[in-house]
Structure 1
């Protein structure tokens, strides 16, 4: 590939779980780390996020286990029943690794474009203050999705 995903820039391992409280307790015990806050978002239309080309509207519980000494974080996501990339994954696979996140800086559009040209479709795009994410559908070929981020 002309624009490969840089392995040295792995910043995130994201898991989808059916019970975030139970999963978070277990991860914190395994790593012997403080329990982070669980953030909850409501199922409201989000004009800054597209899922499979349509505006997203789903609720989500999220917790971030800080592994910054290793250069990455572990995110836990518990989706509600509404259509989302996380609900799609949970329904298809149960608990598991939804995506690996990579920071690619200014190469974001080139990396995403090349992955799409290689048959990896765009699944989810979201923008938030100070950043964005792009989920590339890699489940069928790679066994996991990719989150291509321009910056942290």
Structure 2
């Protein structure tokens, strides 16, 4: 498969919100589906979140809607330094990222950084890891790489 990521299938769209309870209820009503459980990202010791090269305690409330082949992620960040918080402060609520499943996270990060797309934030979650690459200048959105453990 050609391309920098090895695939071109968007698996997730991430949307930043100020009030996840309100917005997830609105999505559930709009689509006539069940409102998902709202979770919170792991604590720093587990998540090992790193933003612009610095460790951060940042956490976020998350709600996931499975929309067929695509997952919609709502993100309500806390006030610690993170891509979520800075982007929300700067741009307001709305689209933050599109995500792609990858294999070989470290290699993909190095490849993208070599093409001029710096790593913005990375972290771990139960069952995998994520990385936000700053592709905004060229692609007008941040790309998230998702690697799930086999």
What range is the shorter-chain TM-score in? 0.7 to 0.9
Q: Distance in 1 between matches of 2:45 and 2:118?
A: 21
* Structure 2 counterpart of 1:83, from 81, 92, 98: 81
Call closer, same or farther: CA 1:140–1:31 in 2, change over 3 Å.
same
Q: Distance in 1 between matches of 2:36 and 2:116?
A: 37
Q: Distance in 2 between matches of 1:17 and 1:3?
A: 31
Q: Post-superposition shift, 1:41?
A: 4.9
Q: CA RMSD in A?
A: 2.0
State TM-score, norm by structure 2: 0.86
Partner of 1:63: 63
* Structure 2 counterpart of 1:133, from 127, 130, 133: 130
Report matched runs for 1:3-152 at 5 Å: 3-5=3-5, 6-8=7-9, 10-41=10-41, 45-46=44-45, 48-67=48-67, 70-106=68-104, 108-151=105-148
Q: Post-superposition shift, 1:27?
A: 1.2
What secondary structure does 1:150 align onto?
strand
Q: Any conservation in 2 of the 1:46–1:55 contact (CA below 8 Å)?
A: no
Call closer, same or farther: CA 1:109–1:59 in 2, change over 3 Å.
closer
What secondary structure does 1:116 align onto?
helix
Can you give the 5+ residue segments of structure 2 that lack an aligned partner in the other structure?
none
Q: Any conservation in 2 of the 1:81–1:87 contact (CA below 8 Å)?
A: yes
State TM-score, norm by structure 1: 0.85
What secondary structure does 1:99 align onto?
strand
Q: Any conservation in 1 of the 2:56–2:80 contact (CA below 8 Å)?
A: no
